[in-house]
Structure 1
Amino acid sequence: MRRHIALATPIAALALLSAPSAAVSDATAPDRPAYALRGSASGTLPESFGQWAGEKVRFAIDARSDGVKTQGTFDVFHAGKPGKPTVGDFEGRIGCLVAGDGIAVATGVITKGYVNVEGKPKMDVSGKKVSFTVHDKGRRDTMFWMWEFLGAPVNDCQGTAPMFEPSKSSFKVKG
């Protein structure tokens, strides 16, 4: 029994001594990584988009992360062909953001909105996950997206190659 008390005393003392230094190191630690993706883009979908070719899309994203907590919003509008209903109109919250070398991947969940996919009834897409990948190239940004409601498996901070070049864009990536 004496041996256990002898071992416990130095361990308890070490714990007490290390606790204040841990608090000091947290307070003086370098800033956590800061990521941001802010801006908007719009354009016409090219032939490679098949049935949606020629339709106009618009995106707005405002997301930031300190490396631990991510917050932000997104808004998407996809106009139908002339005389056809709007294909999609939804918004939501960003839950994951990573960025580096001018490229950002942001994923989130739709909080409200709908889509009209030809041949299917109008669908409420609230609660579905989305992903945006943006490559900030000044005035020639590229981007791409994935929609869980169309069958894409969207995991946190998972993106795709940014292949769509919008005609207008103002995205800024930090990180």
Structure 2
Amino acid sequence: MKDILEFINQISSLSIDANEDFLEALEIKTYPKGTFILKADQVCRNYYFIKSGLTKSHFYKEEKEFIMTFFKEKMMFTEISSYLTEKPSRYMITALEETTVCCISKKDVMELCKKHHPIEALFSKMFSFATLNMMKRISEMLEENGTDRYNNFIRENNELLQRISLGDLANYLGITQVTLSRIRAAK
């Protein structure tokens, strides 16, 4: 549990009591490769911290898969729109490897936020980071070509290349596998 405390205390410094209460609210779950952490049409009721493994957030439209992002070790995430609105998600979160997470329910988060102001600040900052990351992703998809998106991915997530399929990488970049092969061959 040390890794999650290090992560959250980098964002918002918590007291010993707040750390203890936060840890007490966590539940550890393991998802085998290929299983859903969140299915489309489910309400996302948890925040997750990845202890080990890798996931993707994705959806399908007209039988084509669109990958929004990948979540790896030492990342905390949720499906933000469903979590905040308590409405069914159109997105799925799938384990790409056996993935162990610490999860905390929205109910527990709300109770902890009432009890500990630094935990409220933590989640406020995490919502802000999620918004910034979403805006960066939208900007990248609208303003950059496939080669630039590939180069950005390599620069920011090079260690994931051995862990994700070329199909998933192409779907994340918004290009075909043929285009991805051409981009990689030009390197």
Q: TM-score range by the shorter chain?
A: under 0.3
Structure of greater relative contact order (alpha carbons < 8 Å, 6+ residues apart): 2
Structure with max Cα Rg:
1
TM-score normalised by L of structure 1: 0.22
Task: Provide the TM-score with structure 2 as the length reference.
Answer: 0.21
Greater strand content: 1
The answer to which structure has the higher helix fraction is 2
